Structure 1
Amino acid sequence: MTYYIIVGTTFFISVIVNTILRNKFIAYSKLYLHSRMSGKEIAEKMLTDHGIYDVNVISVEGELTDHYNPINKTINLSEKVYNDRTAASVAVAAHECGHALQHRLGYNLLKLRNHLIPILNFSSKFINIAIMSGLTIFYSSGGKDSLILKLGIGLFFLVVFFSFVTLPIEFDASNRALTWLRNKNVVNYQEYNKAKESLNWAAMTYVVSALGSLAQLIYFLSILTDGNNKKEEHF
């Protein structure tokens, strides 16, 4: 029951945060920049201003599909962000350029996260199976140690670690974006505040995800701890 409460609460908060984020972007997509620059133009200017000439800005399908790909060095902007000339588009475009700047400067946490991605892609195939199978064995054996459960929790720890490594990376990318927007006077005071608010709510989605994963990890660890305590009491 505790597990479902944790998952349900995390899901509920995530829905609220994502709904607010989506509504913010809808509202700020109606606030057109005084400079009339598109998301593509904003991204290209930020890259140029930082001496980055080997990263291409391209358009991709979907909504909120914006990301920086360090492998092929591309800023991938959703069609709306790529073409629009609004506070929302400038926030997203500049944020993704922040990741490109991190890559260029050799930001250590970004390098760490990039190294973790293939490991997580592989382990994600086994996490749920290992945990569910491990819990079944654990409870059916009266709380005896389950190697499979420990393996599953160990793999899930990587997910939690990845989530918390991601947090400072996202905040740093937003700070780099906002610093550039402020210093280059690309946006006015109102546009800057709206861009900042958009990025803050976007960051909240990562915070909620990380805290939700941590709560699940603590729950799984508590199962093992309770089982060990019961064994000690038995002896």
Structure 2
Amino acid sequence: MYYNSGPIYFIVILAMLASWFIQWRLRSKMTKYSQIGLHSNLSGRQIAELMLADHGITDVRIISTEGRLTDHYNPADKTVNLSEEVYDARSASAAAIAAHECGHAVQHATAYGALQFRSAMVPALSGVSRFMPFILLAGVLMIKTTLIPLGVGIVLFSLTTIFAFVTLPVEFDASNRALAWIDRRGIVTPQEHAMAKDALHWAAMTYVVAAISSLATLLYYVSIFMGGRDRR
């Protein structure tokens, strides 16, 4: 049987184009909503402090980090890292991002299963990511003589794909926690809530496309492996 990798390769290209579009759309939304002042006049840092306090979290630090869209929660040192345009900003986008990152802190504090699983995968993936591209390249180049390197590369790449899909519930749950809290706490007006929800939606879509792209790439390598096996 001959395995045609053409359709899968086409899906990979589409995923790359979709990723570019969503990244552009996300930046556009963030720029738009960052220019609209928040009715409560709270900064991203103040919103983060309130959300952590409301959830009884006292061992997490909030720090400012350089760059744009570099916001993240680090479970290793328990820090909510807010970009400069979020840390001091008083806008719907800043409220959404600050609350979302604190949503991860709440997940950590409550031992949210998906976050724990993803965190457990990080050490292994950090090591795998260093040499996996070389193994895959060697596997493709050596496919006429042996399938072992490509098979090993596929197994390793599958870990990154699993990680990408495990990330999805983690991100969506953090956004749901954030939106529910800023609404319940009166941080935003109904109009600002809609803007915050829209901003987080586009941020979540970047993870969705990344997961689909990873799966398509994995299937592409699998199709090469199967084709090489059938030609032997």
TM-score class, shorter: over 0.9
Alignment check: 8 A CA contact 1:126 1:152 kept: no
What is the match of residue 94 of structure 2?
A: 89
Offset, 1:228: 3.1
Offset, 1:12: 1.3
Equivalent position SS for 2:98? helix
Q: TM-score, normalised by structure 2?
A: 0.94
Which of 106, 111, 114 aligns to 1:109? It is 114
Give unpaired runs (5+ residues) of structure 1. none
Equivalent position SS for 1:44? helix
What is the match of residue 197 of structure 1?
A: 198
Taking every aligned residue pair, what percent have the same amino acid on both sides? 48
Task: Report the AA paired with residue 217 of structure 2.
Answer: Q
Q: Distance in 2 between matches of 1:58 and 1:40?
A: 8
The CA RMSD over aligned residues, in Å, is: 1.4
1:66 counterpart = 2:67: no
Alignment of 1:74-153 (within 5 A): 74-138=79-143, 140-141=144-145, 145-153=146-154
How many residue pairs are counted as aligned between the two chains?
227
Which of 42, 52, 76 aligns to 1:47? It is 52
What is the match of residue 168 of structure 2?
A: 167
Q: Distance in 2 between matches of 1:195 and 1:70?
A: 24
What is the match of residue 221 of structure 2?
A: 220
Q: TM-score, normalised by structure 1?
A: 0.93
The structure 1 segments of at least 4 consecutive aligned residues displaced by more than 6 Å after TM superposition are: none
What is the match of residue 23 of structure 1?
A: 28
Give unpaired runs (5+ residues) of structure 2. none
Query: Higher relative contact order at CA 8 Å, sep ≥6: structure 1 or structure 2?
Result: 2
Equivalent position SS for 2:142? helix
Offset, 1:226: 2.7
